[in-house]
Chains A and B, each alone.
Chain A
């Protein structure tokens, strides 16, 4: 493609006097995936960040146009692989809403419990990776210890640890594992006793605080205008929890708080996610003993056909609002499908919040945006 002299010539032309252009990624330890950032530096200070996307583009939206309404749900597991269950749920909700399928209460409860477990697992992984971005290796292992229990529960429930594919339009693929409630309770006890370790190791660490406080500040206005959702927007004081605003499944029956911080810096985003884990535990505690008996899947037709029209459904994933927009011509496959992925909008603020800071600040800002690259590229 290129010979080497060309590449060197190109980059030296890009930077003006005293500026250094670095390609961070597509292979870089801090991008956690194949994200390519073209960073213009002046010494240690960042002038400009330009994200280049497309390295893991699999044209999932186009692919979904040739898959039936039963099949296309499972492709979304491969988008935001850390909240695959919640992505599946968003798609299933759309199909159920479009065809007025009645979902049994039992399925609704289980879906919500698993959604919250997924959220905790995602935040746990983020916590470890974020600490690693800041140079602390040990929290990664502590976070994975608890995450491992969740993935074990997932494995028992549906056979997969990461891309669960447990949801079908109208309910669930199979019933719960008999040990499910026992294991989830064991996890809750373990999590509650260990969450203080994160506080000691990370939150209260003076180096961690000085690395994140006042770094990558995002104002509420900017969060709205860039379309940020999820913990990123909530850390800036924007109330945007889909679970509260447009409750789906049984979120209107459970008590939980929408965690909102106002500082808008990296530390606020960190605090929001840690507190959200506790809120998720609260939701699970309310539901786990009250799972109603009954069917786990409702009655559906063998061939699903959405009526002609446009449909939209939204769910709150671990990263923010995940939207599915389908235009149907009445056939068995979507005519056109569009996913609104939270990661894409959250990435777009990166230049805004990290330019002007140092290279170290970029890691703190990027870490707290919680980017999952397949979610951005799709």
Chain B
């Protein structure tokens, strides 16, 4: 049966057999870096194409269909165009911060990749405070956005960055509380432990109502955190032209664009890990035969399937809803989502203490 675990162990065994341990570890690092960069590139290409196809389907049109079969290479062509474009820097911009900003946003995405379990025993860094690490690192992306908005010397960019700052800082809270719900149920911050705890049922099914509420809260909060519609105030096209990346062009813009999709992938991957059991196959109680068939599907396919389902959900939001106003956005968080998540945490704590969950 296909398994990524086998490949990684054989590569590791081979490296440690051929080289001394330090050398082997260094080579492993290089391999991991190359793999994550190529994952970034491939994800960017796939997700942008997926977004355009989903949008086209919702908007009764065909979407990209000229470059390659079914428009498959459209995003490749777009990327080539962006690479070849001149990256303009505005005259009065703070050049150092202006150039740094896209890399900060990008780097956050890269760092967040580390604790995600892509398949059974296929994880870059199984850190024991995984969930804490994720919520800590993901808050850093707002710095990049504020940097971009400030350094551009453009009023639209500044307004967009300020909106984004208020928005991301607020919605961090709900996302954090939603994640904590699962942490309370599992009793561990480690992502591999959280996945293992869902061996006989995903948290969304066996976590009772609190897990369901937490999932809804999580999806809303991460949509806001990744600046996606209906919470795309930071780049509200009809209001602020392009918000914080108005002045960016060429490859610097491409990095922002890529970072948006990478962030979507990461939040959906975390959502799939927490609520849908990560790479865990779907198991139903005592249906032995059914469970066996499900086990035959590789764990990486399970993980990607769940992640892409959540990504589709977030894209569906974008092409259906109008945008909120900035005060409504903050009202939604501070007056509705935050009290609900606090109450939800209390509820799940009671359930966990009394052992009511399955």
A29 with B241: CB separation less than 8 A: yes
Q: Is B114 an interface residue (CB 8 A)?
A: no
> CA of A363 to CA of B59 in the docked complex: distance in angstroms?
22
The answer, yes or no, to whether B288 is at the interface (CB within 8 Å) is no
Picked from A20, A22, A30, the residue with its CB within 8 Å of the CB of B238 is: A30
Contact indicator per residue, chain A 345-363, by CB within 8 Å of chain B (1) or not (0): 0000000000000111111
Q: Is the CB of A360 within 8 A of B326?
A: yes
Contact B325 A136 (CB under 8 A): no
Contact call A363/B320, Cβ cutoff below 8 A? no
Interface flags for B40-61 (1: CB within 8 Å of A; 0: not) read 0000000000000001001111
Residues in chain A near residue B322, CB distance under 8 A: 131, 134-136, 202, 205, 207-208, 211
Name the residue on B nearest A39 (C-beta).
Answer: B155
Distance in Å: Cβ of B329 to nearest Cβ of chain A: 10
A38 at the interface (CB under 8 A from B): no
Selecting from A138-146, A302-310, A312-320, the interface stretch reads A138-146
From B61, B163, B323, B326, give the contact of A135 (CB < 8 A).
B323
Instruction: Decide if A201 is an interface residue (CB 8 Å cutoff).
Output: yes
Q: Contact at B91–A4, with CB atoms within 8 Å?
A: yes
Q: In the complex, which residues of chain B have a beta carbon less than 8 angstroms from the beta carbon of A360?
A: 236, 239, 323-326
Cβ-defined contact, B238 with A137, below 8 A: no
Complex CA–CA separation, A60 to B169 (angstroms): 53
Closest to B158 in A: A20
Q: B78 contacts the other chain (Cβ, under 8 Å)?
A: no
- Interface flag for B5 (CB, 8 Å): no
Report the separation of the CA atoms of residues A135 and B240 in the bound assembly, to the nearest whole angstrom.
Answer: 12
B151 to chain A, nearest CB (A): 16
Report whether B159 and A134 are in contact in the complex, using a CB–CB cutoff of 8 Å. no
Q: Smallest distance from the beta carbon of B155 to chain A beta carbons, Å?
A: 5
- A137 / chain B contacts, CB cutoff of 8 Å: 55, 59, 319
One digit per residue, 1 when the CB lies within 8 angstroms of any chain A CB and 0 when it does not, for chain B 295-323 equals: 00000000000000000000000011111
Best-buried of B60, B61, B91, B325 by chain A (most CB within 10 Å): B325
Which B residues lie within 8 Å of A44 (CB)?
159, 163, 326-327
B interface, over-half SS = loop
Chain B, interface residues (CB within 8 Å), range: 20 to 34
Q: Are A207 and B324 in contact (CB under 8 A)?
A: yes
Tell me, yes or no, whether A265 is within 8 Å of chain B by CB: no
Distance from A22 Cβ to chain B, minimum over Cβ atoms (Å)? 5
Q: Is the CB of B325 within 8 A of A361?
A: yes
Q: CB-CB < 8 A to B326: which residues of A?
A: 44, 358-360
- The answer on a CB contact under 8 Å between B238 and A133 is yes
Judged by a CB distance under 8 angstroms, whether A287 is at the interface is: no
Per a CB cutoff under 8 Å, which of B58, B60, B159, B328 touches A145? B60
Give Cα A140 to B60, complex, Å. Answer: 11
Kindly state whether residue A75 has any CB partner on chain B within 8 Å: no
Within 8 A of A (CB), among B166-219: none
CA distance A145 to B60 in the complex (A): 9
The answer to whether A358 and B321 have CB atoms under 8 Å apart is: no
Listed residue (B55, B240, B322, B324) with the most chain A CB atoms within 10 angstroms of its CB: B322
- Pairs of residues from A and B, 4 with the lowest C-beta to C-beta distance, nearest first: A135-B323, A360-B325, A136-B322, A141-B59
Can you sample 16 A-B contacts with CB below 8 Å? A4-B92, A30-B238, A30-B239, A41-B159, A44-B163, A135-B229, A135-B323, A136-B322, A137-B59, A141-B59, A141-B61, A142-B59, A201-B320, A202-B322, A207-B322, A360-B323
Chain B positions within 8 Å of A, measured between CB atoms, are 55, 58-61, 91-92, 155-156, 159, 163, 229-230, 232, 236-241, 319-328
- A135-B323, A142-B59 known; 18 new pairs, CB 8 Å cut-off, are A8-B92, A20-B159, A22-B156, A29-B237, A30-B239, A44-B159, A44-B163, A133-B238, A135-B236, A135-B322, A137-B59, A137-B319, A140-B59, A201-B320, A205-B322, A211-B328, A359-B159, A363-B239
